[in-house]
Amino acid sequence: MGKGKVFMHIEMKYGRSHLCLELRDEHVRAVVKSSFPLVSDPEFLIESALHNPIASPGLAEIIKNKRPDSVVIVVNDHTRPTPYNYILPPLLKSLTEAGVEQNAITFLVATGAHRGNTEHEHIESLGASVQSYRIVNHDCRGKLALMGVLSNGCRLEINLLVAEADLVILTGQIAPHELAGFSGGRKSILPGVAGIEAVTGNHALFTAEGIGAGKLDGNPVHRIMMEALNIVQPDFLINVVADSDQRPVYAVAGDPEKAWMTGVDLCRKAVRVSGEKQAI
């Protein structure tokens, strides 16, 4: 450090730890931060969303009408910091109260093209409430069900558990995403539980015009993911927006498209920032 210079110390998250960035004060135009609300009881937030579904009957009514023998809950893999310790207990409670037996429920880890979770990562990622449930890693090269062909010409093959389930519930976290615009929602289907052809076909659009964090209109990655969602037609969704400490600050439940879009609007308001001057 130069003598007499004043430095700003900025702590940045890095993996499970932090790195310290030091910048001279005159080189910092501003420090921008998201405007997340303070939530005292995140689990109550989840319960409230489940009891007030968007554009959809509640889970109890869906289960009463469908009488499912098999329920698949699609969850993110260990690479996504989704706050399942808040999400899953109220969801499982709702299923139990609606009469769904534990042995009817399978957690399907939406690995996309990633490797599967280890047993330790299952518990670390999903929380202790799932230890007695069946948990299966998706295999994008395994035996899959052909559901259709996407507009990019790729076959949409989907995990057999999803294709054959009586009830499919999507879970996840909504945040800006560098390719899809926003995570959550339809990403649980593609790339989450899709075959390798559809996954690589979608990822190959990483240089296409229209992609980028926060961009949905004109985004081909998002469009093809929505095609996959509409082909598969899962039954219900519960997604959250979380703060930098991975505590839910918003929760949406209900129709897999409309509830997610509501969550996207909430996420935009929380993470959008403006600057008085451009940094050069």
For residue 21, report the phi and psi dihedrals to the nearest 5 degrees: -105, 125
Whether the Cβ atoms of residue 116 and residue 109 lie closer than 8 Å to each other: yes
Whether the Cβ atoms of residue 255 and residue 188 lie closer than 8 Å to each other: no
Torsion of CA 88, 156, 104, 131, to 10 degrees: -40
Residue 114 known to be catalytic: yes
Residue with tokens 């609300």: 37
For residue 277, report the phi and psi dihedrals to the nearest 5 degrees: -135, 150
* Catalytic one of 78, 122, 138, 177: 177
**Which among 110, 48, 117 has a CA at the least distance from the CA of 73?**
110
Distance in Å from the first CA to the final CA of the chain: 23
* Catalytic one of 114, 122, 138, 222: 114
Q: Check residue 112 and report its DSSP letter.
A: T
Residue 9 known to be catalytic: no
Q: Check residue 32 and report its DSSP letter.
A: -
Q: Check residue 217 and report its DSSP letter.
A: T
**Which among 161, 170, 163 has a CA at the least distance from the CA of 73?**
170
In a 13 Å sphere around the CA of 254, the CA atoms on its Cβ side amount to 19
Instruction: Show the tokens assigned to 139.
Output: 């295999």
Instruction: Show the tokens assigned to 148.
Output: 């259709």
Distance CA 108, CA 71 (A): 10
Catalytic residues: 114, 177
